[in-house]
Structure 1
Amino acid sequence: MINPTKIYIIVNELSGSGNGKKVSIALSEQLSEKKIEFSLYPSQYAGHTIQLAADLSKKHDANLTENKQLLLIIGGDGTLNEALAGLGETQKHIPLAYIPAGSGNDFAKALAISKDVAKALEQILNCKEPKKITILHYHERNLDEVGYAVNNIGVGFDGATANFISISSVKKKLGAIKMGSLTYLVSLIIVLFKQKGFPIEVKVDNVYKTFPEAFLVTVNNHPYFGGGLKISPKASPYDNSVDLIVLQKVSLFKFISLFILMLNRGRHLNHKDVHYLQGSCIQILSNQQEYVQADGEFLGKKSIDLAIKSSTRYFWIQ
């Protein structure tokens, strides 16, 4: 069991339609009861968590590295994504603690992190040492952009869905009636009728494959996707492989059938229009401009030369 002298908490108070603030208040009460010193650092704008994580990790490097102090993130998967970007490659040795407060929380589900604040805190404090996991590390070669994802990176359908969520009021409306977890599913249904097939080429290690009518292209770090859908049941954050699923453009009836098969113990992987590939490095290429997302955050609509591999990080998880 660890006994930190202080915990630095970065919180996205707006995550989960305001759930982040509620979680931070509950956590503050828990830490005060346990007489653990802490400081709160609210994220004020998109991208602010990147700067906060970078500043705190560098300023307190020695104590965070020696596990005397902890850096804890409260928010959704997008907030955690920003924290990893803040650590980057130079501070990747610093372990993170995480308490989920978003609408989807796929990473927490994959790593069995409780959504109950008291239980999540006990999970952290009961750790003897940080655990090594893998995340996705991408390099977009056309624009020379690099980044990370704890859940998945998608091109096409889920990228378009992430864009729709970012520009529509669906998330806000569902959050207001405490149904924010349905945001992805509702948006998915709306985008389903708009997204068209597109040509891509993928390179998995040294093997090339082409898909003239790709519809959904997603690289996964663990099984869950879009708020708990088990799209990639073979993926694991504890190995060094990268898992790719390509769904070709299908009829609405087939799409619904595949969705049902996905809910039924991952049987969608056996369908002829679903292609599952696994390797140490995956490259996705397309001259056609398509929507791209990482951990549900919209990265833009662009032509694609995207290389994805795994990278090691450390978390306070049991």
Structure 2
Amino acid sequence: MTIFYSKILLVCNGKAGRGELEINLMEVTPPLLDICDALTVHKTKDKDDAEKICRETGQEYDLVVIMGGDGTVHEAVNGLARLSLKPKLAILPGGTCNDFARSLNIPMNMGQAVETITASQYEKDIDIVKAGDRYFSNFWGTGLVSKTSDNIDAGSKNVLGRLSYYISAFQSIQDPELLNVTITANGKVYREEVVMLLAANGRSIGANPLPASIDLEDGLIDIYMVKKTGFPLLKEFFMIRSTGEVSDPTNDIIHIQAPAADIHLDEKEKVDMDGELYEEQNQTLEVLKHHLRLIVGEDK
């Protein structure tokens, strides 16, 4: 049964190709107008614009729809997560990898994606993770994952799409640097030398599936510490198989599930949070269980 909304805010990435943006708007606005009294369209102009509009006006709407890639979604989540009265959220994937949309089983086709909103058959209360004074919906990572992101050339990303992630990854992992990390979680302390530290809430990075056991509703963050000896397994997992399953009998990839974790790095490092780069040394991750209600696709 279709749900009718009083007011919908549609936030779209204004930096998307003009022709592509116009085509997408022509496809999604009529069906959205059919399910609401008033539709407001906001095209972002600058970095953090999506976060600002969601933070300042989000509570005025019943539904906020984000049409864009992971960066736009990341900004919107950071705007909405802070509100005491949060609207429902929906995503129309318009980026390169659309990892969080994939985690929610949202179709990559724009027409099919808007149907998930107008039909409103499936909704879930999804976990969001607080990381210091920021929030992420999909992942937090440093080491190999942030180096890969940092190496991606914006031009090649636009031309090659997800392939640019794989090319950059192969360039990055010829001689991975080691990081000394200390993690306190579930009352235990882990001290390891790793090539990558990944904290996952979603199930996709660079359009590649992460382990299917990751649950966006369980109130737990899945943390993976990848030792140098686990590097060949990691390469196979991300670049060759991409099956969403990982088997590590040697414990070269340490997996922790916890509602919160304190992370200490020996030095300040670049951190990739949902595809956006920051610099951090000490970080506390805290899962906010069922923090945002999202319209999702059908479970596969």
Taking structure 1 as the reference length, the TM-score comes to 0.82
CA–CA distance in structure 1, aligned partners of residues 99 and 105 of structure 2: 10
CA–CA distance in structure 1, aligned partners of residues 230 and 110 of structure 2: 43
Alignment of 1:78-117 (within 5 A): 78-91=71-84, 93-117=86-110
Mapped pair 1:74 → 2:67:
yes
Q: Name the counterpart of 2:9.
A: 8
Q: What is the Cα deviation at residue 259 of structure 1?
A: 4.1
Alignment of 1:7-86 (within 5 A): 7-15=8-16, 19-20=20-21, 22-31=23-32, 37-58=38-59, 60=60, 64=61, 67=62, 70-86=63-79
Q: Name the counterpart of 2:274.
A: 295
Which segment drifts farther, 202-211 or 115-124?
115-124
Q: What is the Cα deviation at residue 263 of structure 1?
A: 2.7
When residues 18 and 48 of structure 1 are mapped into structure 2, their CA distance, relative to the original with a 3 A threshold, is farther
Structure 2: gaps of 5 or more residues: none
CA–CA distance in structure 2, aligned partners of residues 16 and 262 of structure 1: 32
Q: Which amino acid aligns with 1:225?
A: I
CA–CA distance in structure 2, aligned partners of residues 253 and 181 of structure 1: 21
* Residue number among 225, 234, 237 corresponding to 2:205 in the alignment: 225
When residues 299 and 100 of structure 1 are mapped into structure 2, their CA distance, relative to the original with a 3 A threshold, is same
CA–CA distance in structure 1, aligned partners of residues 250 and 48 of structure 2: 39
* Residue number among 129, 139, 163 corresponding to 1:152 in the alignment: 139
Deviations 1:226-277 (A, max 9, x none): 22x2233321111101100111124875554454685355134444311111
Aligned residues of 2:210 and 2:244 also touching (Cα < 8 A): no
Aligned residues of 1:123 and 1:317 also touching (Cα < 8 A): yes
Mapped pair 1:197 → 2:178:
yes
Taking structure 2 as the reference length, the TM-score comes to 0.87
Deviations 1:69-122 (A, max 9, x none): x22111111111101111232346321121111111111111111122222222
Q: Name the counterpart of 1:142.
A: none
Total equivalences in the alignment: 294
CA–CA distance in structure 1, aligned partners of residues 284 and 127 of structure 2: 16
Q: Name the counterpart of 2:287.
A: 310
When residues 269 and 308 of structure 1 are mapped into structure 2, their CA distance, relative to the original with a 3 A threshold, is farther
Q: Name the counterpart of 1:162.
A: 149
CA–CA distance in structure 1, aligned partners of residues 188 and 262 of structure 2: 10
Q: What is the Cα deviation at residue 289 of structure 1?
A: 2.6
- Percent identity between matched residues is 20
Mapped pair 1:188 → 2:169:
yes
Q: What is the Cα deviation at residue 19 of structure 1?
A: 4.9
Aligned residues of 1:246 and 1:275 also touching (Cα < 8 A): yes
Q: What is the Cα deviation at residue 32 of structure 1?
A: 5.8
Deviations 1:127-170 (A, max 9, x none): 2685311122112xxxxxx11111100011111222222xx3xx
When residues 39 and 255 of structure 1 are mapped into structure 2, their CA distance, relative to the original with a 3 A threshold, is closer
Query: What secondary structure sits across from 1:136 in the alignment?
Result: strand
Aligned residues of 2:166 and 2:239 also touching (Cα < 8 A): no
* Structural RMSD (CA): 2.7
